[in-house]
Amino acid sequence: MRGYLPDYDLSSTENLTEAFGKLAEGEKPFAGGTDIMVLMDAGVLPAGRYFDISKLKELGGIKVLKDQVSLGALATYSDVRNHKTIQKHFPILVESAKEVGAIAIQNRGTVGGNIANASPAADFPPCLLVYEAKINLISSSGLRTLDYTQFHLGYKKSEIRPDELIQSVLLEPRFLDYHHFWRKVGSRQAQAISKTMVAAIAKVNRRKIEDIKIAFGSVAPTAVRCRKVESFLLGKKLTSEVILEAKNILTKDIQPIDDIRSTGKYRLIASQNVLEEFLCGIG
Ligand SMILES: Cc1cc2nc3c(=O)[nH]c(=O)nc-3n(C[C@H](O)[C@H](O)[C@H](O)COP(=O)(O)OP(=O)(O)OC[C@H]3O[C@@H](n4cnc5c(N)ncnc54)[C@H](O)[C@@H]3O)c2cc1C
């Protein structure tokens, strides 16, 4: 059953001080609304007060700074897709943004909303893990910066406190000489929630792996960095035996479950296959 509209209140917010006041009163942020409106339509959005954060300039925009790129929480997938620096330095963010929902969702859905949701099937977290991003959380007490690896704690659980907003994600443009790979496996090409997805980057010299970072989504309660596969591959030359062993070791990094979208068995085999596709492409 749909949510009953009079149970909800949505107000606008002009500045951060006002936003922190609303958080203190238990109101919840509303960015693009692409997740919130679905929950309301499904009748599972808690009744209460929400405030629109879209005018908060401190959370907006993509800024190219001296040694890093700041991706404002309010940046949309379309902003990410069209940004020249992101295209050059972080191509899998662009690839994943292109596959989020379809154009209407890409125009409204935000980076901050995707992260705050803490869904294991969200498309950006695996990319942020391999690019070793940091995340800025802002409250009336100031800004705190965490490694992105510290942010997701479990299924729909994150490190964000009720008095905080996601302000931005910080990325260092230091992966120009890496291979970048993104693959989302779903039931169809658009409007698909993934059964598994991989974000991976690697630096390879004469077939030898000098650095590698691999993360999967939709196969655990949070997106996961595959540290066991990474440490096995580091320093190795890519042969068919090494690739086969990497696929076996992947079973120690991810243990996907059955759910409405897929079986754990299918997810594992598909994940091993996309890992093989990545490794064959860089060797
Ligand atoms: C048809 C459809 C297709 C979709 N396809 C995909 C897909 O392919 N891949 C994918 O990953 N997602 C997909 N989504 C989910 C959704 O679009 C994204 O997760 C989007 O990025 C959410 O951002 P938003 O701004 O709309 O969030 P909102 O709906 O506004 O908010 C979502 C949650 O985040 C909180 N929040 C928002 N911004 C902040 C902030 N700055 N600080 C703290 N909390 C905040 C809100 O309070 C709320 O709890 C899809 C949704 C729809 C409806």
Q: Which atom of ligand 1 is nearest to the CA of 122?
A: 11
- Return the pLDDT at 125: 97
Q: Is the CB of 114 under 6 A from ligand 1?
A: yes
* pLDDT at res. 191: 67
For residue 222, give the nearest of 253, 266, 246, 249 by alpha carbon.
253
Q: How far apart are CA 59 and CA 134, in angstroms?
A: 15
d(CA 247, CA 270): 11
Quote the pLDDT of residue 118: 86
Mean pLDDT of the chain: 94
Is it the case that residue 131 has pLDDT exceeding 90? yes
pLDDT at 190: 66
- For ligand 1, the distance from its centroid to the CA atom of residue 125, given in whole angstroms, is 12
Q: Is 126 in the pocket of ligand 1 (CB under 6 A)?
A: no
Q: Over 80: is that where the pLDDT of 103 sits?
A: yes
167-200 pLDDT, tens digit per residue, is: 999 999 999 999 999 999 887 766 667 789 999 9
Predicted confidence at residue 186, as pLDDT, reads 80
Q: Give the separation between CA 246 and CA 227, rounded to whole angstroms.
A: 11
User: Does residue 252 contact residue 272 with C-beta atoms inside 8 Å?
Assistant: no
Q: What is the pLDDT of residues 2-33, one digit of tens each?
A: 788 888 999 999 999 999 999 999 999 999 99
pLDDT tens-place string over residues 48-89: 999 999 999 999 999 999 999 999 999 999 999 999 999 999
What is the Å distance from ligand 1's center to 233 Cα? 34
First-to-last alpha carbon distance for the chain, in angstroms, is 52
pLDDT of 168: 98
Q: Is the CB of 118 under 6 A from ligand 1?
A: no
Ligand 1 lined by 71 (C-beta under 6 Å) = no
**pLDDT at position 187, please?**
73
Backbone φ and ψ for 235, nearest 5 degrees, come out as 85, -5
CB 38 near ligand 1, within 6 Å: yes
The whole-angstrom separation of Cα 150 and Cα 267 is: 25
**Look-up: residue for tokens 């594992």?**
268
pTM, 2 dp: 0.96
Ligand 1: which residue has its CA nearest to atom 28? 33
Average pLDDT on 143-153 reads 97
Specify the residue with its C-alpha closest to ligand 1, atom 25.
32
